[in-house]
Structure 1
Amino acid sequence: MRKRIISLLIMLILICSICMSVSAVDVPNLTRKGTITVTMHAKKDNKDVIVPGGTLTLYRVGEIHEDDGNYSFIPTGDFVGCGESFEDVQSPELASRLAAYAEKNVNNKGDTKNVSDNGVVTYENQELGLYLLVQYEEASGYNKANPFLVALPNMEDGKYTYEVDASPKVNVKQDSGKKTPPKTTSKLPQTGQLNWPIPLLVVSGMVLFAIGWILCFGRKKSDDET
């Protein structure tokens, strides 16, 4: 009898443990909306700096799909025909392909905002889903950020958060190394010959010619007298 009671207690403990484990799994609240905050930053002079300026465009590319308690994203809206699978939403290649699709087929219908002086863009009151962010206009002195995806809500430490932060990194533009050519003038460059001896040579030639002419004329006159 005692063994049966102990067995029943063990079974009850196991059942309670299973129920607690199941109840600990968080599920997204599909009635809620969320916020996506993006902070642009870069590595400059070995320091992490905020990058203000430029724009950022937000596209809602996927909606939440529930299948027997499992949640995933499927294409939605203008992206239904993209032909992409959203199994790996952290894939940079997937983000790049979706950005190319958006540029060709969506006609810039995204929500475009300017990056603030603090390097921040905030999209509030957004429906839950998978979002694509694309930078079409870069900040001065920096390259464009690569397209990236943000899930809303996002799973953090086993819990869904509806206030999602993203921090894409951009690169500083490199100097092309081309130097600006010096300003030219209308004067032609010298070839190494100086001009100042020319008048002196002309005068010297005339003097020598005169001396020679005088000598020649004097000798002729002397011959005539003899």
Structure 2
Amino acid sequence: MRIKLKRWIMALLAGLFCGLAVIQLSPPVCAAGYLQPNREASLSLLYQIRGSGVAGLKVHLYRVAEISETADFTLSGDFAGYPVELGDLQTSSAWEAAAETLAAYAAADGHTALRDASSGAQGEVTFGELQTGLYLVVTDLWRQGRKRIAFDPFLISLPSLNEEDAWVYDVQAFPKGESYQTSGPGGDDKITYQVVKHWEDADQDAHRPKNVTVEIRKDGEWYSTQTLSSENSWAYTWRARDDGSTWWVVERDVPDAYQVQVSRDGTMLTVTNRYTGPGSPGQEPGDKLPQTGQLWWPVPLMAAAGLVLFGAGWAMCIRKKNEEK
């Protein structure tokens, strides 16, 4: 009986290792299945403030990255050379920072949009006959007297996953915006702005340069070039009139083995450089967490197999003790 039990355990172990081999060799697959990169897509946008449509908005659409069958993004076209990482878009803040960074580069380097459009009476904009990929949407500031309406730039994937975890090629989106009043034409109200450099290179700060150069741009136009270093606490502050302008920050000559992202919090713009070279903090090379929609079935399967093996081993120990009595 003991021999049969040992053979059974060995067979189970062999089956488990075979299963692990299949898991390692299989590419990551989304629960919705592989997407179709060559399929036509469309994007419909609705610009509203407190339920009312905003007409006459100038909207610019850029295709910034290609998308693979397994939903991996690769920067392409005018955006191919930028040191902006798209492999870790796991949170809304990461998506917002990537959009902010790419929008600043597009404005600073004068990239031509793939499509331009104006919103209709209800705030509607539609872009049809699009390739699949990752798209950046940028909207000009809406001005009327002292009133301003601003919509944040954003990234959107075509296709996208819906609530049922299925690929949708005709995507609808509702951009986030705000309405506010500026100071009058003769007003001298000023706002304090600040750009701050943040480093994510724990235990690898030897790769960090002594300084970095950033361009400050007002409504896309050059305003100032500043050098940030430890001497000024990696920060620069300036004041400007409250006229509703949009301020962008672009980092030039990003250090080797670093990625860049710019995040906005009110009037503070944070430029983060994350070290991604050898020995970088975080995940080990080759590790990749499941993306949204990716199948998680190997996890419970392996856990169940582990419980079976534990139970079999425990039964063997109990049987051995009984035979020794």
TM-score (norm 1): 0.61
Q: 1:58 corresponds to which residue?
A: 61
Structure-2 change in CA distance of 1:174 and 1:23 (3 Å): closer
Q: 2:47 aligns with which of 18, 23, 40?
A: 40
What number of residue pairs does the alignment pair up? 154
Equivalence map 1:1-226=2 (5 Å):
25-43=32-50, 48-66=51-69, 70-87=70-87, 88=89, 90=92, 91-138=95-142, 140=144, 141-156=147-162, 157-176=164-183
> Once the 2 structures are TM-superposed, how far is the Cα of residue 53 of structure 1 from its aligned partner?
1.5
The 10-residue stretch of structure 1 (127-136 or 24-33) with the greater mean CA deviation from structure 2: 24-33
> Once the 2 structures are TM-superposed, how far is the Cα of residue 175 of structure 1 from its aligned partner?
4.9
More helix by share: 1
In structure 1, C-alpha distance between the alignment counterparts of 2:129 and 2:97, rounded to whole Å: 28
Structure-2 change in CA distance of 1:177 and 1:134 (3 Å): same
Determine if contact 1:54/1:139 at 8 Å carries over to the other structure. Answer: no
Q: Percent identity?
A: 29
Residue 133 of structure 1 aligns to a residue whose secondary structure is: strand
Residue 129 of structure 2 aligns to a residue whose secondary structure is: strand
Determine if contact 1:130/1:151 at 8 Å carries over to the other structure. Answer: yes
Question: What are the superposed Cα offsets for residues 82-111 of structure 1, whole Å, 9 maximum, x if unpaired?
Answer: 111113174211101000011122433331
> Once the 2 structures are TM-superposed, how far is the Cα of residue 138 of structure 1 from its aligned partner?
2.0
Q: 2:208 corresponds to which residue?
A: none
The unaligned stretches of length 5 or more in structure 1 are 1-21, 181-226
In structure 1, C-alpha distance between the alignment counterparts of 2:115 and 2:78, rounded to whole Å: 14
In structure 1, C-alpha distance between the alignment counterparts of 2:106 and 2:125, rounded to whole Å: 20
The 10-residue stretch of structure 1 (52-61 or 107-116) with the greater mean CA deviation from structure 2: 107-116
In structure 2, C-alpha distance between the alignment counterparts of 1:162 and 1:84, rounded to whole Å: 25
In structure 2, C-alpha distance between the alignment counterparts of 1:174 and 1:137, rounded to whole Å: 13
> Once the 2 structures are TM-superposed, how far is the Cα of residue 52 of structure 1 from its aligned partner?
1.4
> Once the 2 structures are TM-superposed, how far is the Cα of residue 155 of structure 1 from its aligned partner?
0.8
> Once the 2 structures are TM-superposed, how far is the Cα of residue 162 of structure 1 from its aligned partner?
0.5
RMSD: 2.7
Structure-2 change in CA distance of 1:113 and 1:92 (3 Å): same
Determine if contact 1:137/1:144 at 8 Å carries over to the other structure. Answer: yes
The unaligned stretches of length 5 or more in structure 2 are 1-28, 188-325
> Once the 2 structures are TM-superposed, how far is the Cα of residue 49 of structure 1 from its aligned partner?
1.8
In structure 2, give the amino acid aligned to 1:78. Answer: D
Q: 2:305 corresponds to which residue?
A: none
TM-score (norm 2): 0.43
Residue 143 of structure 1 aligns to a residue whose secondary structure is: strand
The 10-residue stretch of structure 1 (114-123 or 169-178) with the greater mean CA deviation from structure 2: 169-178
Determine if contact 1:64/1:72 at 8 Å carries over to the other structure. Answer: yes
Determine if contact 2:32/2:167 at 8 Å carries over to the other structure. Answer: no
Question: What are the superposed Cα offsets for residues 116-138 of structure 1, whole Å, 9 maximum, x if unpaired?
Answer: 11201100000000000001242
In structure 1, C-alpha distance between the alignment counterparts of 2:122 and 2:108, rounded to whole Å: 31
Higher-Rg structure is 1
In structure 2, C-alpha distance between the alignment counterparts of 1:71 and 1:144, rounded to whole Å: 30
The 10-residue stretch of structure 1 (122-131 or 105-114) with the greater mean CA deviation from structure 2: 105-114
In structure 1, C-alpha distance between the alignment counterparts of 2:108 and 2:185, rounded to whole Å: 34
In structure 2, C-alpha distance between the alignment counterparts of 1:25 and 1:34, rounded to whole Å: 17
> Once the 2 structures are TM-superposed, how far is the Cα of residue 24 of structure 1 from its aligned partner?
6.1
